[in-house]
Amino acid sequence: MPIHCHISMANSHIHSLYLCLIIFSISHHLASTLGESNNYIIHMDLSFMPKAFSAHHNWYLSTVASVLENSDLSTDDVTSTTASSSKLIYSYTHVMNGFSASLSLSELEALKRSPGFVSSIRDLPVRADTTHSSQFLGLNSNSGAWPVSNYGQDVIIGVVDSGVWPESPSFNDNGMSEIPSRWKGECAGGSEFNSSLCNKKLIGARFFNKGLIAEYPNVTKTIVNSTRDSEGHGTHTSSTAAGNYVEGASFFGYAPGTASGMAPRARVAMYKALWENGSVTSDIIAAIDQAFMDGVDVISLSFGLDGVPLYEDPIAIATFAALEKGVFVSTSAGNEGPFIGTLHNGTPWVLTVAAGNIDRDFGGVITLGNGVSIEGSSLFPGNSSFSLRPIVFMNGCANLKKLKKVRNKIVVCEEKNGSLPFQVKNVRGAKVAAGVFITNDTDLELFIESTFPAVFLNPKKGETVKDYIKINSKAKAKLEFQKTILGTKPAPSLTGYSSRGPSPSCPFVLKPDLMAPGDLILAAWPQNVAAALVDDHELFSNFVLLSGTSMACPHAAGVAALLKGTHPEWSPAAIRSALMTTSDTLDNTLGPIKDNGGNNNTVATPLAMGAGHINPNKAINPGLIYDVKLNDYVNLLCALNYSMKQIKIITKSASYKCSSTTSSLDLNYPSFIAFFNANDSNSDATTVQEFHRTVTNVGEGQSIYVASITPIKGIQVSVKPDKLVFKEKNEKQSFKLAIKGPRLLKEEIVFGYLSWVHTAGKYIVKSPIVATRVSSEFVS
């Protein structure tokens, strides 16, 4: 390694020559250990930073310098600083608290003894790829919804949530065109939020808390009085819908790749109405109202209220105006699954979104002393690996005192009778080296993001570990983390927590509408909100993995923005219809989508997943659509026996009148639900329920569609006519669907599908049909 010392302004030639020789010796030392060094990302606890340091960077430099001194490389202060500068790769101030450095194993071990050290992660190679829900949905730059819609360019998505972290790289405006002239919104300044923080991506920011302050005056002492996100929820949802491209995104090494929202060229406007101290309906209504006035095209609402009728639901009330303004509204179904009738946002004029998983798992690897490696589930965010150490089997890990006696060992626990939560708690409390948990439970999300090193194995893999320990008196093992596995099967499947229909507020319209990715979704996160814990230390990251229908909702909002950009003339009902009738009902094994909230291999019903899993590329060109007019919704409200006062609350108009000839529960919706729940002496008699629908041809001008109905247990379904002939585009055709069955259905829920199949094979327009004995009065 050539060394060049240029001495130009030294007060002492001897001192300068000595300095040059010291630098040469350091460089020689670095060169001799170059092959042994690796890059590590180091997380530091800022509370340990001495007050003498004016900046984090200086503290990080000093920390690395002390490591070099402890590695038998003795230098003066100037030389130590030079050496530490050469070892330090980046000093992070926004994405995390810490730095990256090139260190040998001995230097890394010395660093772990430094004050403020939290954890280290090996720097991993990253490939330029999505992370990963957009890819799972088939979005790509070559064909389909992204290029056809120009990636949602100039569509404005309003997000009502907990605010936004504008400095997040997901809100960079690289590649964005000028802000549309029709935009009437603003970027409101406030506490810790300057109006200059908005740009061509984040074009609006407003906050609403007058109702909250009026209700709870003391909250002014604790809230961040601006659009700045102090919780993270709003930053995550808005970047999921329309975040720009960010290379090198990950959650502490998990899910690495290039992050982007569903509509990466759409605009984001944040309306903060959810606060850390609570939220009130008056603020939510004001936020949605302002979004309409500002000129948004799509609204994403990842929250809801339970157990309220439509005329008391602020979301239902505020979003009714969206019909007149042509604004599409996406909402979350709620996280109260797997029980039926728990869904909220069952409003007929919005999209109600359930949550599914994608074909991606996260894990760790336990390598036994005999060289056998076993993959398990894990999201431990700390050290990516550690060396071999003793491993012991502790049965149910119920005895905390015994666990504490093996503190420096890896402990193996076997779950019995639902004891996993207690095992995890005991192992964490005992502060052992690591935990390996053997469990039959497949819903491990609450456990795998552990604060201590832990891997979760199924019983079959667990037996391999137990057998090794039995025959080895000095059994050892090591753990490695930050493993991301793509292409897992089956996927998608419905999450157990996703709330189920029928809708309590309007059971006669089948809800939810569809399913979108919502499980362990990587998206942006505030840089001052802890993203994870290791022991008692907070870790910070620019991206986190979150789960819930809150994450599914903005996926659908972003896809709706793609459709809005492609078909600006379409109504919100037309967009909803396109999304529903093109949804997938099969997983990547070509079997029916499963329900993780049921027993093994339980098929997800439309009361759980709606029409199916969202498919953006098919939705761009659906063939036929089911459109709904404003008066149709009013007729539905009349049929629900709402008073004129209640209807006026929703419609904001006294001009609507109810009549027996127009009132109808039969909305022109792309799904069907029939209740067979009579409980009387004549319950065995058969009855027929009829539904009338009108479809509009938005595909090819001259087209013929033929009806196909899947068999449904215990009922008979017929369609008249069973062939629809269209002579031109935008032509409408009507049909009648009849469901015949017993007045009291034997099964709780049965279902199938009506498909209008294009005779040339270009389109399949699919609608779910549900028959149930669940009482509509019970859920409402």
> Cβ contacts of residue 658 below 8 Å, gap of 6+?
635, 638, 644, 647
Whole-angstrom CA distances from 377 to 257, 436, 439 are 20, 10, 11
Question: What is the DSSP-derived secondary structure letter of residue 179?
Answer: P
94 catalytic? Reply is no
Dihedral, CA of residue 137, residue 140, residue 143 and residue 144, to nearest 10: 30
Written in H, E and C, the secondary structure of 645-672 is: HHHHHHHCCCCCCCCCCCCCCCCCCCCE
Surface-to-core class of residue 344, CB atoms within 10 Å of its CB (0-12 exposed, 13-18 middle, 19+ buried): buried
Q: Output the CA–CA distances (angstroms, integers) from residue 371 to 383, 454, 475, 478, 480, in the order listed.
A: 21, 19, 12, 10, 14
Strand partners, 719: 737
Q: What is the CA radius of gyration of the chain?
A: 30
3-state SS record for 59-128? HHHHHHHHHHHHCCCCCCHHHHHHHHHHHEEEEECCCCCEEEEEECHHHHHHHHCCCCEEEEEECCCCCC
Residue 764 buriedness (CB in 10 A; 0-12 / 13-18 / 19+): middle
Residue 190's beta-bridge partner residues?
193
Residue 608 CA to residue 700 CA, distance in Å, equals 33
Tell me how far apart the alpha carbons of residues 233 and 731 are, in angstroms, rounded to a whole number.
Answer: 43
CA distance 17 to 225: 58
Q: Which one of the listed residues 62, 102, 120, 233 is annotated catalytic? A: 233
Is 711 within 8 Å of 739 (Cβ atoms)?
A: no
Question: Dmax over Cα atoms in the chain, in whole Å?
Answer: 110
Is 493 considered catalytic here? no
103 CB-side CA count, 13 A = 28
Dihedral sign (CA 487, 489, 490, 496): negative
Compute the 3-state secondary structure of the chain and give helix, strand, coil in percent, each to the nearest 5: 30, 25, 45
Q: Which of 102, 104, 133, 161 is catalytic?
A: 161
User: Please, which residues bridge with residue 772 across strands?
Assistant: 675, 749
Residue whose structure tokens are 């999209």: 351
> In Å, what is the CA distance from 587 to each residue of 377, 467, 552?
22, 36, 17
Instruction: Identify whether 29 is a catalytic site residue.
Output: no
Compute φ and ψ for 96, nearest 5 degrees. -170, 170
Which residue's entry shows tokens 């007149």?
A: 324
| Catalytic-labelled residue, pool 550, 577, 671, 703 | 550
632: left (phi over 0), alpha (psi -120 to 50) or beta: alpha
* Centroid of chain to Cα 584: 19
Residues tagged active-site: 161, 233, 550
